Amino acid sequence: MTAASGQFRMMHTMIRVFDLDRSIKFYTELLGMKLLRKDDYPGGKFTNAFVGYGPEETDTVVELTYNWGREEPYELGTGFGHLALGVNDIYAVCAALEKQGAKIPRPPGPMLHGTTHIAFIEDPDGYKIELIGLDTM
């Protein structure tokens, strides 16, 4: 136990999005998150929308940042990996997501070099979201 441990809490991960309403719709309607708050910053010409499964006081959430007037979709680069969500029945969840039109570039199954069952879906900007089968961990 270090002196610093206990002083920090994971609050959120921020991703820049090209179309805020499109992203809010994806994270709430397909992934079941709640829109927790939406804050406009006219001085900085951006809006932050926080989405998650519980309040920020107790849950780590996702901050969707929209820079006003953005004309080009974002290049995600090669460093970003994924956001990860735990699910109870990864096969049923992926089948339902596929019916709702979600992109699933990596269908569910045991991970390479491991045993946990995972899948990767993509959000509207192309950010990868890993689904982890909690019952396979």
* Contacted entry of ligand LWWXVOTR, Ni ion, none for residue 17, CB cut-off 5 to 8 Å set by kind: none
Return the structure tokens found at 128: 């990868």
Beta strands in 2-71 (DSSP E): 12-16, 34-41, 46-52, 61-67
Min. distance of Cβ 27 from ligand LWWXVOTR in angstroms?
Answer: 19
Taking the least distance from each CB to ligand LWWXVOTR, the nearer of 7 and 88 is 88
CA angle centred on 24, ends 63 and 19, rounded to 5°: 90
**Could you say which residues in the range 60-99 bind ligand LWWXVOTR, by CB under 6 A?**
84
Q: Which of 104, 103, 111 is nearest to 137 (CA)?
A: 111
Taking the least distance from each CB to ligand LWWXVOTR, the nearer of 13 and 116 is 116
Per the annotation, the verdict on 56 as an active-site residue is no
Return the structure tokens found at 101: 């039109």
Question: Which of 29, 63, 122, 130 is an active site residue?
Answer: 130
Under 8 Å between Cβ of 43 and 56: no
Quick one: how far is CA 113 from the chain centroid?
A: 24
**Could you say which residues in the range 101-130 bind ligand LWWXVOTR, by CB under 6 A?**
106, 111-112, 116, 118, 130
The residues that touch Ni ion, with contacts defined as CB under 5 A, are: 84, 130
Residues forming the active site: 130
